[in-house]
Chains A and B, each alone.
Chain A
């Protein structure tokens, strides 16, 4: 069903075809008058008759309804637009032609034009952010195409979400809070994952007796299973530096990675929250459960698209956004020294931090010695930052945005991550 119809004014004017006929007619009459030769008036007659016959009453305004298939879409996902026009003679006497003028950052899918009183058009956002879908030009044409009525309708806004990277595995902590979930904990419980065998004690269920082990040991043995728990995950997206080509910049990768992590952890029934770190401070969302939380997280991250707001300096991440014992996954190019200090501060407060480095751009290569030296110093600084984080016990992996996020995380998803201050 189309959206609410809106009444739009139609601006009528002669078509190009009518202007040509009018030129021929007027030129013929003018030459006939000047040269006093009536055959030129005869030559002008067909054009003038066509123009005269095409006259008629035209609607001053029509009703146009335009509805997008969704208000939220991921990068590259096509958004269908259903448009209908209604009014006196629309469709019967007046043909309708729709032309989509997509907004900035939107690409038309297929032909941007369609004919008929009801039509379907499509557009796809090329990059995340809050986008204007654009505007719709409606052209009404009479049967003989002598007059054209023009109207323009502004289309609604679209929230374009970053396309989540591929992530099917999760980094899991060794110590999980006592809350039902889907991660196998190191303690015994009523899960489904086998964790060992122990001697039978009164009260154990008979169905858990391991008969082969009981036969070998001569005493009743029962199977033990790992408890299944959930964890709190806080995604920290660094929006202070956006370097690299648009579409694969550090901020693009950070948001795509964070969206992928949010989807993967929420799919495992973990509580997931988000913190976006930017110059003006930090936007945050407390951890929560469910699919709605995924959209809330991405909405919070989209707020980082507000540009450079050089306001108060960031001091400390909010406590309400960081539950004790939570796993903090950081997506950052690690270019801002204050952000690195904030990570150190969090580590000292006992949070388990996992850093995904999304820096894919280098300073430009220039032949001058000073430039090469500056490039080398910059690289050494970057290596020093990463070294210092590893020295603090913060795992750090690099993700290029092309490969699945599972690949760099693989060494840490095969075994649980030891929380801060719990060395084995």
Chain B
């Protein structure tokens, strides 16, 4: 008997914020206190907090007609409108990857960050849509393929270059991207056949 995965909808924003905080902490250690790393860390923390606030107030409806409302209520509605505008989660993902790139090469650490960021975005999506976690169950095969590619990426990162120089490193990146593209081209056909 198939059991549906159920998560209380009210806990999903909390889970998303915790995953965002985990991603920020994961990419921050060890802390680099100088240069662009500080800016990137500040951006990650700010975006995760902004995302958490946005998810916390997402259920509050916004009124279009605020002309006759008192000042404090208008200010509150303006805050609600403003906090929903920026793409907080995109900013958090980009800043976390940038912060990770500022560290020295550590392939397994990076792919774990990728997994956490993917989980963060999926949880934010669940919190936004109010859908239960069971809606992700059809995507489990794709996510499993993604996990395999994550491991493959980590392995490619750990392989020593055949020859010294930038060309060899770029070749490894191109190979990793080619694997992803190939998987992306094959997956729609597989999913269509499964339906």
Look across to chain A and name the residue whose beta carbon is closest to the beta carbon of B110: A39
Binds A, one of B1-9, B74-82, B114-122: B114-122
A31 touches B97 (CB 8 A): yes
Within 8 A of A (CB), among B128-143: 128-129, 131, 138-139, 142-143
A20 touches B101 (CB 8 A): no
* Interface presence of B41 (CB below 8 A): no
A37 touches B157 (CB 8 A): yes
Within 8 A of A (CB), among B99-119: 100-101, 105, 107-108, 110-111, 113-115, 117-118
Distance (whole angstroms) from the CB of B23 to the closest CB of chain A:
11
List A contacts of B89 (CB < 8 A). 20
Please, could you name 18 A-B residue pairs with CB atoms under 8 Å apart, sorted by A?
Answer: A17-B124, A21-B121, A24-B118, A32-B173, A32-B177, A36-B170, A37-B110, A38-B157, A39-B157, A40-B153, A41-B153, A42-B151, A42-B176, A44-B114, A45-B150, A45-B153, A45-B180, A52-B188
* Interface presence of A176 (CB below 8 A): no
List B contacts of A418 (CB < 8 A). none
Within 8 A of B (CB), among A34-78: 34-53, 55-56
B172 touches A46 (CB 8 A): no
Distance (whole angstroms) from the CB of B99 to the closest CB of chain A:
11
Interchain CA distance A17-B130 in the complex, whole Å: 13
List B contacts of A53 (CB < 8 A). 139, 142, 184, 187-188, 191
Interface residue tally on B, bucketed by range: 35 or more
A42 touches B121 (CB 8 A): no
Interchain CA distance A39-B180 in the complex, whole Å: 12
A50 touches B114 (CB 8 A): no
* Residue among A35, A46, A51 with max Cβ neighbours from chain B (10 Å): A46
Distance (whole angstroms) from the CB of A103 to the closest CB of chain B:
13
Interface string of A131-165 (1 = CB under 8 A from B): 00000000000011100000000000000000000
A49 touches B145 (CB 8 A): yes
Interchain CA distance A139-B166 in the complex, whole Å: 48
A42 touches B150 (CB 8 A): yes
A37 touches B105 (CB 8 A): yes
Look across to chain B and name the residue whose beta carbon is closest to the beta carbon of A101: B64
Interchain CA distance A38-B160 in the complex, whole Å: 12
B173 touches A33 (CB 8 A): yes
For the complex of A and B, list the 7 residue pairs with the smallest distance between their C-beta atoms, beginning with the closest: A42-B153, A43-B114, A46-B146, A52-B184, A45-B149, A39-B157, A36-B169
Interchain CA distance A145-B156 in the complex, whole Å: 32
List A contacts of B142 (CB < 8 A). 46, 49-50, 53
A27 touches B175 (CB 8 A): no
Interchain CA distance A47-B107 in the complex, whole Å: 18
B180 touches A24 (CB 8 A): no
* Interface presence of A198 (CB below 8 A): no
Interchain CA distance A32-B169 in the complex, whole Å: 10
B173 touches A49 (CB 8 A): no
B170 touches A33 (CB 8 A): yes
List B contacts of A31 (CB < 8 A). 97-98, 101
With an 8 Å Cβ cutoff, the count of chain A residues facing the other chain is 38
A50 touches B143 (CB 8 A): yes
Interchain CA distance A37-B111 in the complex, whole Å: 11
Interchain CA distance A209-B131 in the complex, whole Å: 82
A49 touches B180 (CB 8 A): yes
B101 touches A46 (CB 8 A): no
B110 touches A43 (CB 8 A): yes
B156 touches A24 (CB 8 A): no
List B contacts of A48 (CB < 8 A). 180, 184
Can you add 9 more A-B contacts, CB < 8 Å, to A38-B153, A50-B143? A20-B121, A28-B114, A32-B177, A39-B157, A41-B173, A42-B153, A46-B143, A49-B142, A145-B129
Quick one: given A31-B97, A52-B184, are A38 and B156 in contact (CB under 8 Å)?
Answer: yes
Interchain CA distance A51-B187 in the complex, whole Å: 10
Distance (whole angstroms) from the CB of B164 to the closest CB of chain A:
12
Q: A23 touches which one: B90, B156, B192 (CB < 8 A)?
A: B90
B125 touches A17 (CB 8 A): yes
* Interface presence of A29 (CB below 8 A): yes
* Interface presence of B147 (CB below 8 A): yes
Interchain CA distance A49-B145 in the complex, whole Å: 8
* Interface presence of B85 (CB below 8 A): no
Quick one: given A44-B180, A50-B139, are A35 and B147 in contact (CB under 8 Å)?
Answer: no
Distance (whole angstroms) from the CB of B81 to the closest CB of chain A:
16
* Interface presence of B87 (CB below 8 A): yes
B146 touches A45 (CB 8 A): yes
